[in-house]
Amino acid sequence: MSYTTIIRDDFKNTRRSNVVLGVIGILTAFVALIVYSVEEFHPDAFRALFDVSFFFFLVFPIILIPLTYLSVAGDRERGSIKHALGLPNTRAEYVFGKFTSRVAVAVAAVVVSTFVALVLGVVLYENSVDPMRFVKFGAITALFVASLSAIFVGCSTLTASRSRAMFGAIGLYFLFGPFWFGFLPVVSLTAVVEQIADLLGTGVTDKTLNYIRFSSPTTAYLSGLEPVYDGVIDPEKYPQVASNYAGDADGYYDENWYNYLTMTLWGTLVLGLSYARFRIAELG
Amino acid sequence: MTAIETSELNKRFGEEVHAVRDLDLTVESGEVFGFLGPNGAGKSTTINMLLGFLKPTSGSVEVLGYDVTKESLAIRQHIGLLPEGYEPYANLSGREHVESAIHAKNADDDPDELLDRVGLDPDDARRPASEYSTGMQQRMSLAVALVGQPDLLIFDEPSSGLDPDGVALLRQIIQEETERGAAVFFSSHILEEVEKVCDRVGILTEGELVALDTIDNLRDQMEAGATVTAQLDTVPDSIGIESVPGVRDWSTEDDTVSVEVTEPEAKMKVLRHLDDAATVRDVGIEEASLEALFDEYTNGSVPEAEPPEGGQAEQATAAAPGGGQA
């Protein structure tokens, strides 16, 4: 079975390059640091997950880039792809095998760091810890990193050089993260949409803007974390958490299933379309 | 069975680059075919089309009876590839590369046996491939290519980086594989490597096949190009050398006469003739090498050299293969 050949080779090769250890190590260290620091201000461990989720949203994609951006582009640049595709491996097995190997590492990093967060939560925090909240957090975050990994591996599939793959991945990170989320008020997707609407002499409703805002995998991730805080959203005690997760909006964009679907669709679409191009690409 | 058959195969990259032009080629089972040409002649482009890495712009390619555009997977199941200029997976050992091929082909080879056959030391075989010298990497790639007893072996510049022992081993392996019935498609820019192992040779230059023949026939052309030179006391006005059978062309420069002969026996006849006509102070014979012939082909100066029929001397305008100075 050659799908497993690709996964096995790629996993061994990646693991020995220390990038696996790097990704899992850095992520776990940061998460532990956040959980440790938050304890000073809050007695509930789930409150730390709120800060951790912003770290996952904003910083983890940058850690994920070195793990994924060369997955296919690097092989094409170095010519190693001739080994894999000179053998009876299909291009589908090759691309999806690469994705599987890399996403396994990303998800492992999420699992390990979430587990460490749980242990620290139990040991350090004053109030009792509900492990289910951590399990939910880990599962939703795993879906998020899978979606991002698919996007980055897809991007890598479209290029045959290291530099393009790098710029592509960083560009996608800014597009789907800070730009879409509106980290800088002026340089944001919703600001651009409003500008365009203005120029056309029309307006955009808040509801439409919210649909747009929550249609990136990263914003969908943040929104989709709602079940983690199920039943413990207290506006008095945790105003930040409440402002993000309390209340019901008038639209699907606020629904959890819609958020999970958004993440899944982005990953599937980008990787799928990239593969469709790679399938007929000229190699060599 | 036919191992490779291309018909009017063309590959263009954009408007400008016509990398392979109307290539018609047939390689039979059990045959060792040398695919020669300088770097950039279109050899790798052709091989990439055989493997399904590149799509032909027009024309057809069949490998082992399979259509490359539709049945690439079946082709790769039955061929062995030694690719040119690639980096193996840096952190996988040579042995793991071979295992990868065994796994992908669902073959039952013993990786250690294959590695032993290509002369890769067992300790080296377990080191990461990034630490390999070019020669070790070539041996590893050779072992990968041999997995699953392929019906066709495609070797792209296999001798690069190999030491003389490695080259000898490569030759031995090629012989063993063809005895088993496999065809070998051997691409190289160095003629010497090819002439010792190949039954037939195709010379590609600027995407076009300029020669396609057996080594023996090419050798016949080579003999046509031997040059006899003689330094004479004084060059007589009329030497009458063109009357000697087997002479194709001759010229004089100062006191030296250069005579191109088409057959070996003509050399002595030329010398006797000159000795009769003048006092010979020095002689030299230069056997035009296949190398020189190859150079001339790839430089495009001998597009239509035919094996001469012997006897009659021809006009001095013909470009002669290997017509160098002694």
Q: At A2, give phi and psi (nearest 5°).
A: -85, -20
Residue B318 has pLDDT above 60, yes or no: no
**Pairwise CB contact (< 8 Å): A83 & B86:** yes
Kindly report the nearest CA distance between residue B88 and chain A, in angstroms: 5
**Pairwise CB contact (< 8 Å): B87 & A284:** no
B253 pLDDT tier (thresholds 50, 70, 90): confident
B290 pLDDT tier (thresholds 50, 70, 90): low
Let me know how long chain B is: 326
**Pairwise CB contact (< 8 Å): B73 & A88:** yes
Look at residue B224 in the predicted model and tell me its pLDDT.
55
Residue B220 has pLDDT above 90, yes or no: no
**Pairwise CB contact (< 8 Å): A83 & B97:** yes
Give me B27's structure tokens: 């390689």
**Which residues, listed in sequence order, are joined to residue B36 by a DSSP beta bridge?**
B188, B203
Look at residue B303 in the predicted model and tell me its pLDDT.
42
Query: How many Å apart are CA B45 and CA B47, to the nearest integer?
Result: 5
Q: What is the chain A residue with the closest CA to B55? A: A282
A255-273 pLDDT, tens digit per residue, is 899 999 999 999 999 999 9
A158-185 pLDDT, tens digit per residue, is 998 999 999 999 999 999 998 998 877 7
Give A8's contacts in chain B (Cβ within 8 Å): 100, 103
**Pairwise CB contact (< 8 Å): B92 & A12:** yes
Give A9's contacts in chain B (Cβ within 8 Å): 89, 92, 96, 100
Look at residue A1 in the predicted model and tell me its pLDDT.
57
Kindly report the nearest CA distance between residue A270 and chain B, in angstroms: 23
Residue A146 has pLDDT above 50, yes or no: yes
For chain B, percent of residues with pLDDT exceeding 90: 57
Q: What is the chain B residue with the closest CA to A92? A: B73
Of A37-41, B36-40, B232-236, which one has max mean pLDDT?
A: A37-41
Query: How many Å apart are CA A72 and CA A100, to the nearest integer?
Result: 12
Residue A227 has pLDDT above 90, yes or no: yes
Give me B57's structure tokens: 């712009």
B216 pLDDT tier (thresholds 50, 70, 90): confident
Q: What is the chain B residue with the closest CA to A14? A: B91
A40-54 pLDDT, tens digit per residue, is 999 999 999 999 999
B21 pLDDT tier (thresholds 50, 70, 90): very high
Question: Do residues A121 and A129 make contact, with C-beta atoms less than 8 angstroms apart?
Answer: yes
Residue B311 has pLDDT above 60, yes or no: no
B314 pLDDT tier (thresholds 50, 70, 90): very low
Instruction: Establish if A77 belongs to a structural domain.
Output: yes
Give B143's contacts in chain A (Cβ within 8 Å): none
Kindly report the nearest CA distance between residue B145 and chain A, in angstroms: 9
Instruction: Establish if A284 belongs to a structural domain.
Output: no
Cβ burial B94-116 (10 Å sphere, 16+ → b, else e): bbbbbbbbbbbbeeebebeebbe
Instruction: Establish if A38 belongs to a structural domain.
Output: yes
**Pairwise CB contact (< 8 Å): A80 & B87:** yes
Look at residue A250 in the predicted model and tell me its pLDDT.
75
B132-161 pLDDT, tens digit per residue, is 999 999 999 999 999 999 999 999 999 888
Phi-psi region at B161: left, alpha or beta (left = phi > 0; alpha = psi -120 to 50) = left
Kindly report the nearest CA distance between residue B117 and chain A, in angstroms: 20
Residue A82 has pLDDT above 80, yes or no: yes
Mean pLDDT, chain B, rounded, equals: 86
Interface of B with A (CB under 8 A): 44-45, 48, 51, 53-55, 73-74, 76-77, 81, 83, 85-92, 96-97, 100-101, 103-105, 128, 144
Question: Do residues B207 and B38 make contact, with C-beta atoms less than 8 angstroms apart?
Answer: no
Range of lowest pLDDT (A218-222, A243-247, B58-62): A243-247
CA quadruple B310, B314, B317, B319: dihedral, nearest 10: 0
User: Domains in chain B, ordered, with CATH?
Assistant: 2-206 (3.40.50.300), 219-298 (3.30.70.100)
Query: How many Å apart are CA B148 and CA B311, to the nearest integer?
Result: 53
Q: What is the chain A residue with the closest CA to B156? A: A82
User: Nearest to residue B35, comparing CAs of B184, B176, B180?
Assistant: B184
Cβ burial A164-180 (10 Å sphere, 16+ → b, else e): bbbebbeebbeebbbbb
Residue A9 has pLDDT above 90, yes or no: yes
Query: How many Å apart are CA A40 and CA A55, to the nearest integer?
Result: 18
Q: Between B85 and A25, where is the model more confident?
A: A25
Count how many pairs of residues, chain A against chain B, have C-beta atoms within 8 Å.
81
Residue B221 has pLDDT above 80, yes or no: no
Look at residue B308 in the predicted model and tell me its pLDDT.
38
Domain region containing A138: 2-279
Interface of A with B (CB under 8 A): 2, 4-5, 8-9, 12-17, 78-80, 82-90, 280, 282-284
Domain count, chain A: 1
Give B86's contacts in chain A (Cβ within 8 Å): 78-80, 82-83
DSSP letters spanning B292-314: HHHHHHHTTS-TT-----SSS--
**Pairwise CB contact (< 8 Å): A83 & B89:** yes
